[in-house]
């Protein structure tokens, strides 16, 4: 999707000071070309009808050809599950979180 493959997905939940958060860890892998990757635009959290951007994400990068980059983004948790992560901009793919 969006010229990268996504894998090694891991989700960690935490809470503190009355705020629940989710940390999403994922890996992007590129093909034969450099691929721009902006985590703050690439992945969203979907809760009900609400689509939420990360509350924290690393800056956009250019991922070198035939390489991997591990990424972590953080979301403020707006509601209890079911939740969905939406990956990609042009042709997004949804993955449910239990």
Q: pTM, whole model, 2 decimals? A: 0.78
Q: What are the DSSP calls for 15-79, one per residue?
A: EETTEEEEEEEEEEEE-SS-EEE-HHHHEEEEETTEEE--SB-PPPEEEPTT-EEEEEEEEE--S
pLDDT tens digit at each of 98 positions of the chain: 567 888 888 988 887 777 788 899 999 999 999 899 999 999 999 887 888 999 999 999 999 999 999 999 999 876 666 778 899 988 899 988 76
Asked whether 26 and 7 are in contact (CB, 8 A), the reply is yes
């Amino acid at each position: 999707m969006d010229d990268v493959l996504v894998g090694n997905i891991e989700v960690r939940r935490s809470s503190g000071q009355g705020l629940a958060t989710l940390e999403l860890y994922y890996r992007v892998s590129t093909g034969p070309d450099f691929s721009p990757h902006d985590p703050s635009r690439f992945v969203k959290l979907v809760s009900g009808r609400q689509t939420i951007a990360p509350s924290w994400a690393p800056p956009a990068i250019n991922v070198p050809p035939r390489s991997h980059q591990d990424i972590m983004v953080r979301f403020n948790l707006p509601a209890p599950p079911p939740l969905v992560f939406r990956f990609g901009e042009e042709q997004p793919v949804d993955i449910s979180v239990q």
